[in-house]
A and B are shown apart, each in its own frame.
Chain A
Amino acid sequence: MLTSSKEIDLRYPGLPGLLLIALLAGLGLSCSEPPQQQHKTQFMALGTLVTVSLWGVDDDDAAEAVMAVEDELNRVQKTWHAWQPGTLTEINAALAAGETIDADPATLALLDKARDLAHRSGQLFDPAIGKLIALWGFQSDDRPDAPPPAKADIERLLANLPDMNDLVITGQTLSSTNRDLQLDLGGFAKGFAVDQAIERLRDLDIDNAIVNAGGDLRAIGAHGGRPWRIGIRDPQSSGVIATVDTKGDESVFTSGNYERFFTWDGVRYHHIIDPRTGYPATGTVSATVIHRDASTADAAATALLIAGKDKWRRVARKMGVKQVMLIDSDMHVYMTPEMEKRVYFRTGTPPRVTVSEL
């Protein structure tokens, strides 16, 4: 311990003065350092507009990263598109013919995850209803101008509607106990693709980024000294109804009845089909989920939109998502307390809000 017996060295009185100057010079130099860069690039992929935001990456690395993301998204699209030739179409063809088909481990893992999510959603999110989706014309990006399917056709499918539990995975082989089973990963594929893209970015040592595919995104890291800020769009207009600051690694996914739809005879039919009725889900305008991985967030948002204001809490609980926001047809907002803490509503008058635990 220091006592007064230690000599105080006063031999170099001028030195502190010099160091003071050095300190100030150092300050001056560091102030003029150029700030970290943000890169924001857009391109078409997954049938929609994709935006990749990067922070703290130099120009060359950013270009390389965006290309990697684009390649990855295209790869996923090619593999999992239910319409264009690829792995999924092969599987569907085999299953429709009542045959078995071998699949690689990655595919099996994906389908297994989809099956698990479907089960936990009470089969509200269910990729096995591809045939029903196709009946509505939503399996492809371009639905031809046509009326909604006939009630009889829907009911016929509904009578024997397959679900993911009918998909059998034995070792490396896929088979189905229901000939009507057709896989459509629409409510899940975007999330999966975004997850893959983020992994590619991480492989390139990029830890601060947002991959936004047609409005659904996953954000990792932050925007330098402040968090990434996500705007949540108003279902009724093009304005932003609320903002959320992300923390660490989070996905923000919204399923809405305004995303893909067609109108016939003045009635709007949207693309999220309720497996229980065979018709587009009613009562809810949008469901927003914040969760770490995008595939879960995607599936949950789909399931919760279908679940509606009566069942959403139960489904959210079973799917393990805690930050949920539902907007029903009366523009009444339902949220979990965890979600309420994070969302700031920018509209002047706050909308009607009900906050409830799961």
Chain B
Amino acid sequence: MTRADLVVIGFTLALLPFLYGTFWNRQGPADAALIIDESGREFSIPLDTDQQLHIDGPRGVSILEVRDGQIRFLDSPCRGKQCIHAGWLKESGEFAACLPNRVSIAVNGSEPLYDSINF
């Protein structure tokens, strides 16, 4: 264990709490999911209504399903189908993505669908 090693370890021990403090979202029941498509467009989907969503991506159409307050990838034009294997997302902070088709889902907690209304 050299001195440089200890510096690296010290740096890591300082880095992790900083990351949590800055980026960690509270856990909690989910009521909305944030979807991002290939153009970087983001939109919020409430999880209270059962529905299916078709999101266009470079590989084709990814189909998302919302049911019983949960959301999942139902189908996607990728080879690995890892996004589908991620299964149902229901807790705040849960995340699934189809990288080849550039579609991702992030579940929000007790975050409101909007912070302020413009009218």
Are A30 and B21 in touch, CB under 8 angstroms? yes
Q: How far is the CA of A312 from the CA of B1 in the complex (A)?
A: 69
Q: Please count how many residues in chain A sit with their CB below 8 Å of the partner chain's CB atoms.
A: 47
Name B16's contact: one of A16, A19, A27, A244 (CB within 8 Å). A27
Determine which of A9, A228, A259 lies in contact with B115 in the assembled complex, contact meaning CB atoms within 8 Å. Answer: A228
Note all chain A residues with C-beta closer than 8 A to B117.
212, 215, 230-233, 240
Do the beta carbons of A53 and B116 come within 8 Å of each other? yes
In the bound assembly, the distance between CA atoms of A118 and B16 in angstroms comes to 52
Question: Are A19 and B9 touching (Cβ within 8 A)?
Answer: yes
Interface string of A208-226 (1 = CB under 8 A from B): 0010100111010001111
Chain A residues within 8 Å of B13, by CB: 22-23, 26
A33: which of B20, B114, B116, B118 is its contact (CB, 8 Å)?
A: B20
A contact residues around B16 at 8 Å (CB): 23, 26-27, 30
- What distance in Å separates the Cβ of A250 from its nearest Cβ neighbour in chain B? 11
Partner-contacting stretch, out of A86-94, A173-181, A341-349: A341-349
Within 304-358 of A, Cβ neighbours of B (below 8 Å) are at 341-342, 344, 346
CB distance A223 to B115 under 8 Å?
A: yes
Q: How far is the CB of A347 from chain B (nearest CB, A)?
A: 12
User: Are the C-beta atoms of B20 and A30 separated by less than 8 Å?
Assistant: yes
CB distance from A280 to the nearest CB of B (A): 18
Specify which chain B residues have a CB less than 8 angstroms from the CB of A53 in the assembled complex: 115-116
Interface residue from B1, B42, B111 paired with A245 (Cβ < 8 Å): B42
The chain A residues found within 8 Å of chain B, CB to CB, are: 9, 11-12, 15-16, 19, 22-23, 26-27, 29-31, 33, 35, 51, 53, 210, 212, 215-217, 219, 223-226, 228-233, 240, 243-245, 252-254, 256, 259, 288, 341-342, 344, 346
Q: List 8 additional contacts besides A27-B20, A217-B118; criterion CB under 8 Å.
A: A16-B1, A26-B13, A33-B17, A223-B115, A225-B24, A229-B44, A232-B117, A288-B118
